[in-house]
Chain A
Amino acid sequence: MPRKKFSLSGQTLTFYFILFSLFTYTPLFVLVIFSFNDSIIMGFPLAGFTLKWYENFIQNDTAISAIINTVNVGVASASIATIAGLMAALALVRHRFHGRELYTNIMMLPLVIPGILLGISLLSLFSFLGISLSLLTVMAGHALMGLPFAMLVMMARLIGFDPALEEAAMDLGADEIRTFREVTLPIISPGILVAFMLAFSTSLEDVAVAFFTVGYEPTLPIYVYGMMRYARMMPILTAISVSMVLFSICLSIAQDAIRNR
């Protein structure tokens, strides 16, 4: 199948690209259409335009508090992941020490372990220690998931950073803290933002780890996951989804703008 493509003209590829984009976006179109459809039945023919599902969503206290929970968990876990990731990256990129490579590889492990296993092992720990599940336990897991991402982003940034700039600052009499604040930080701050947002969106998206570590207060994905079993909740879920999509798109555009700066 892929062989054929090369005797084909560029137009075929263009056509394929358009098809692929359509495939990518179709489910989103479906969500958008039904979120404005004035019927509890999610089918054709469409029943007419309404905003009531969005109103229901805004008036739904559980959904709103789930959003607040998600944002809190996301900000807290992404902050921890970014700070710890930045510090680790500083040590790993700037210094050659024994076990450096091993440490880097170990830090990568949560990236390549399915979320279900991270979630289960955390659940085992918390129940073993008698810690009751809450948003804090979710946050602990999310920070762990975000850490390798944050560290990789920061390492990539720091590798392209010329240490001569810092040496120059120190030669000119700045101490280490001042050098870090006035030379290093401004140069790596776009990287810090990208790392933060990557960790934040990891937290925002996660179902698997939160599923096992969440207490009585749900995060938004856990709330949506629970409600997906009820047909009557579907229209509100489409409204929540579309709102989330818009938010994520803003987040990714912002991230891309920072990355290209």
Chain B
Amino acid sequence: MKKESGAKAIPLGLIRKRKRLPVLVNLTPSLVWYVLFFGIPVGLMFVYSFWKQVYVRIIPIFTLENYVAFFTIPMYPLLLVKSLMMAVGVTLASIALAYPAAYYLALRIKKHKYMLMLILWGPFWTSYLLIVLAWKLILGYNGALNSLLIYLGLIKEPLTALVYSPFATILALVHIWAPWLAFPIFVSLEKMDKSLLEAAADLGATPRQAFLRVTLPLSMPGVLVAVLFVFIPVVGEFVTPSLIGGPGGIMFGNVIENLFHRGTNWPMGSAFSFVMLVVVMVTAILLIRRIGLQALMESL
């Protein structure tokens, strides 16, 4: 940009002046939408969190009791911690599953690698609800897996611990996210300068050393993008656990959903949402700082 302005200083200067208004005009739609449907709602949620509800009426009196409730009733922080741990588990398991597949596609395959990536990505385009539905069918008491095992004579009674458990929730979530994760990891591996690996080999590195010192660090941006887009939605999950998690699979999102959807206590739900929001935002800011916006754009 600066280089050019030396050669054509006058026209560029003119254009720039003419374009000051368009900047404002161009930003207006997104700004209006964000203020109306994002800024104000989140602000309202924050305000609600300091009010209280008596029966069905929300009373606008400042109180801290919703936050006090969160920190003094052990069940709530424990559920948040449980949700965070499930999200960490899902993220790590998904990366562990997706990384070798992405590595294989990016570094071992010569032809049709984008086609293969697209095929691998296919299930992500199916609404994630359908994946949950499929797992419900597979893991159910009279479901596909149990009936198949009985049909084959491997078991006599259906296994009961399959569906309606935290395990089912984690399995479905890993299945939803692992194929998707393969993509950003694939992109960062694909961008890597392959001659670096040859250089490492020439300098006497074993394949394992080359992987740990060259490939893995260079693919970290992809892995971090993956963390960002898996960890955060999973922390806020309430749909998957409500369908296949059973009583033991309840997550923090289910508590919030309950406080809101049955209309039982919006201010308390707002306070809990705000606690979740803070946790998520801190994670996101730390991650985005590490990744940079550029990598984020390239991963889409």
Which among A26, A28, A112, A124 has the greatest number of chain B C-beta atoms within 10 A?
Answer: A124
- Find out whether the CB atom of A241 lies under 8 angstroms from the CB atom of B130: yes
Partner of B273, one of A84, A120, A143, A251: A120
A114 touches B123 (CB 8 A): no
Distance in angstroms from B273 CB to nearest chain A CB is 5
- What's the A-B contact tally at a CB cutoff of 8 Å? 281
Q: Give the nearest-CB partner of B28 in chain A.
A: A87
The main secondary structure of chain A at its interface with chain B is helix
B159 within 8 A of partner (CB): no
A115 to B30, Cβ gap below 8 A? Answer: no
Known pairs A113-B280, A114-B235, A153-B300; A17 contacts B37 (CB<8 A): no
Interface status of B200 (Cβ within 8 A of chain A): no
Task: Flag whether A49 is at the interface (Cβ < 8 A).
Answer: no
Contact of A221 among B97, B98, B127, B207 (CB under 8 A): B127
Interface code A39-50, partner B: CB below 8 Å = 1, 0 otherwise? 001111100000
Q: Please indicate which of the listed interface residues B22, B144, B237 has the most CB atoms of chain A within 10 Å of its own CB.
A: B144
* B247 sits at the interface (CB 8 A): no
With contacts A84-B33, A147-B30, A149-B300 taken as known, whether A117 is within 8 angstroms of B236 at the C-beta atoms is: yes
Binary contact readout B1-23 vs A (1 if CB under 8 angstroms, 0 otherwise): 10010001001100110110011
Cβ-defined contact, A121 with B41, below 8 A: yes
Residues facing A in B224-241 (CB within 8 A) are 228-229, 232-233, 235-239
Q: Does B62 contact A (CB under 8 A)?
A: no
CA A140 – CA B40 in complex, angstroms?
13
Separation of A41 and B158 alpha carbons in the complex (Å): 15
A260, B117: Cα distance in complex, Å: 14
Closest to B118 in A: A256
Per-residue interface assignment for chain A, residues 228 to 254, with 1 indicating a CB less than 8 Å from any chain B CB and 0 otherwise: 100000100110010011001101110
- Give the size range of B's interface with the partner: 35 or more
- Is B126 in contact with A28, judged by CB distance below 8 angstroms? yes
Interface stretch, picked from B42-50, B64-72, B73-81, is: B42-50
Q: Please name all residues of chain B whose beta carbon is closer than 8 Å to the beta carbon of A225 when the two chains form the complex.
A: 129, 239, 243
CB contact list, B111-133 vs A, under 8 A: 114, 118-123, 125-133
The residues of A that contact B104 with a CB separation of less than 8 Å are: 13-14, 16-17
Within 8 A of B (CB), among A1-37: 1-3, 5-7, 10, 13-14, 16-17, 20-21, 23-28, 30-31, 34
